[in-house]
Structure 1
């Protein structure tokens, strides 16, 4: 399979091994992955890569791997989707097209410049040159500069982790303005929601500034974090309901909360908390998170364990424990939307109808929550990287092991100006610290 996917491996003689690294940047050593007695297998690669979260590297043992790009007409690219270059009218694979566009534009810019002395510039030529002007943009994850034509493709493949997700949306906070909230600690949920919705002078995209009634003090970050922590705790308590297994919560079915736009404000507060140093809203059930990412209920799998409403949970328990007939439960079953025969033979169909009724009726709450999560383009990030965002919304052990990458991911050093001598020394210190942590992890200390 590897040779079919990477045809250049076919010509490699002398063998090769897979290597891995646990994340991070700077000076890092690749660690060899020893094959099992029967070679590499799917279970082994799934385990060492953290279910595909870590990048694996193919390292030939005796020969160098050819890394020259394939031509656009290579056999390996025949089945890839193609598009036409609007400048030279040639067909290129979509993955190769961004780099070709850059080179093609550069060639035409040189051509236009050389003919300016001979030809009189026309309005069409001016428009063409303005279109061909090279533009660059900075990747919000790795902070490297790329051509504007390929920045989106690079960003989608850049080595993201949960911490990188937070850094990427944090960079979209409007630091020039403030979103001021003045609340009382008494009934902070109602007062906070009212102040949040009444604020008209600025957008929640701005830096949040919090003041508590009757308390003196300037918000330098601590008050903001305290407010977000208490608000998320109240949102979890008032707008979500937990099941018996304690594996996350479903939205509470409450039409009044939807009518008051509480769920939309809750989504905005969740996004602000993630972007501005607050705690993550890690209290939802996984099916709720999957729906927030896709917005498509048909693709979501739900089961009886996802029913958190006590009334429906007791009804399902009564049906499971029933041995005679279900005549006493007919009214309750019909109220859940089930229209078939009420009998023990249809027990599975009845329970499935109750599960769907319990989850489908909270879809309007989740839809309103999705609107709030559009802040900082967080919803788009969730759609592109659902597995990376999962630990931010769903409780449980999701790659929370404290290792070298985890420590570095949570380090936020205050560095000097980029390019200065002090900045270079500080980066060297961080690189040495990274190597030290990696050595501790390799030795088993971490």
Structure 2
């Protein structure tokens, strides 16, 4: 309880009790189920058993305060902080980006600067424009200071009519590049331009931080990777900061090691004990013919969502790709019709089924072989 109050100080003010709930895997709306406490309350054993997914705290008689914590909260004591250049206040990197958008200290400075340009009657001289209003360099429209950055970040992404104006006012602006990569016939060049655009658009955002303890067990490291990629509403094109605890390696080599480890886990499996198996494999079969596992448990656990985020994250940051997939699966994955996919015998990961299908290559079958094929067809 003391640890929860330390991590979530707003729980200290809750009166009337609260309970923990968890949600099953899957998409869309999910019904929460109660995590029953013991007679002495919630113990570490109960929380560890329920921590396979998000846990929700539900007060019984009050509403939990959802207002942001102040930057001086003890919850942020161990987080990396940076100084806001507007209000000169230290904020954790996780909340600094949102704070910058709403920080209004600059408005005071603007009003002071503006007063220096007023005439003797306190009016703005003719032919000058208020510093509060700014012109977007892409669409040439005027917007208030508070909203110009938000508008400019998305201006022109879907408006082709402004592309010529944008190129004239700001050559090489992102609005033109976003559309340009889609029209490049060479897929390698298109992917490269798309990657550069995404990284440039998010280069000033707070970095995503990942700490991997090399002294921990493989299961603990893989569990940390899964938890990292199960986060929702994350912009994966943000800068990435990786650190290996217990290892002196630094720089880009750590990032390459991180992505190589993630791709290797997709091929060989995660060392986590899910569904009572030692290694959880998302893909099955032989090399160059890997296909997704048909386990309903893996689908419900959102691990394939994790796999998709790993692949996209590695691509954006120039990491390795997932090779060895079945050509038939890649055909369907990229939008091809399953009816036109060329399925080979090697695409079947089950060797018993593969031997049965192989019987169809024979011109004549014995009664026993016919029964075997018939049983497989009925299945």
More RCO (CA 8 Å, sep 6+): 1
TM-score by length of 1: 0.38
